[in-house]
Amino acid sequence: MTSRAAGPEFVRSVTAAGRTVRVAVRPGREPSVPPLLLMNGIGASLEVLQPFVDALHPRRTVIRFDVPGVGGSPRPVVPYNLTTFAPVVAGVLRRLGHDEPVDVLGLSWGGGLAQHFAVQHRRRVRRLVLAATGTGSLMVPAHPRTLAKMLTPRRHRDPDYARSIAGEIYGGTMRSEPERAARALHAHTRLGPRRGYYYQLAASTGWSSLPFLKLIRQPTLVVAGDDDPIIPAVNARIMTRLLPDARLHLYRGGHIALITEAHELAPVIEDFLDG
């Protein structure tokens, strides 16, 4: 029987374009398979993505990072936005020795960064996956009550609070099993300073990908839940129509199914990446 074990994961700090970020790399067993770069949601450290990483085949190298001020990355000295942070990501890949195109998956807030990266550094991106994400400030919005709960990092710091609001903000199976959301956010997460959350929130304020969606030429998979209170599924349909080369995978579930139902979504995403 062939072992499915990947190479040992390593975590290190990498400085690129004047910023230092904490990076985790799980080396894959097959160098010919393009690495997968993960871009996380707001306020979440790279550990939160562990269930998804574990569900991916070990032949694939997986790279993830904490944005400045979140998880194990130091607080930024000056604010940043998606335009100024994309070169940091490109620099991190170079420092890690990945000069070839990589596949990119962006979850929620990370989907905005992924869209921007795919245009700003188009030669670095082979295929793109946009999960539970939208087009920024110009999109069909969530209910104001949901948006209000996204304005603070409390759900990342208080498991009881995360449990109490899980169904309302994350939808899907979190409506009947809110404890799973609390576990997903708190079982392995590493908390950074509160200010890091607000820096990350501000980084995408006023940003929209609508003006440049047609410039994203990479094959793109848009993954969305039919019960996502934060990013209503209609946004995924709009993005799929506007992107030049996109397909939509609509699943039954909510905003963080990539983490809580990783075993169901990982094969869908890998089938797309393998072409």
CA dist list (Å): 209 to 100, 138, 186, 190, 241? 25, 8, 31, 30, 14
Give residue 271's Cα distance to chain centre: 18
Catalytic residue flag (residue 108): yes
Nearest Cα residue to 39 out of 55, 20, 52, 54: 52
Separation of alpha carbons 31 and 33, rounded Å: 5
Q: Which of 3, 13, 73, 108 is catalytic?
A: 108
Which residues lie below 8 Å from residue 122, measured CB to CB, with a gap of 6+? 215, 217, 218
Mapped onto helix, strand or coil, the DSSP state of residue 169 is helix
Query: Tokens representing 139?
Result: 């999109």
Q: Residue 263: what residue type?
A: H
Report, as residue numbers or ranges, the catalytic residues: 108
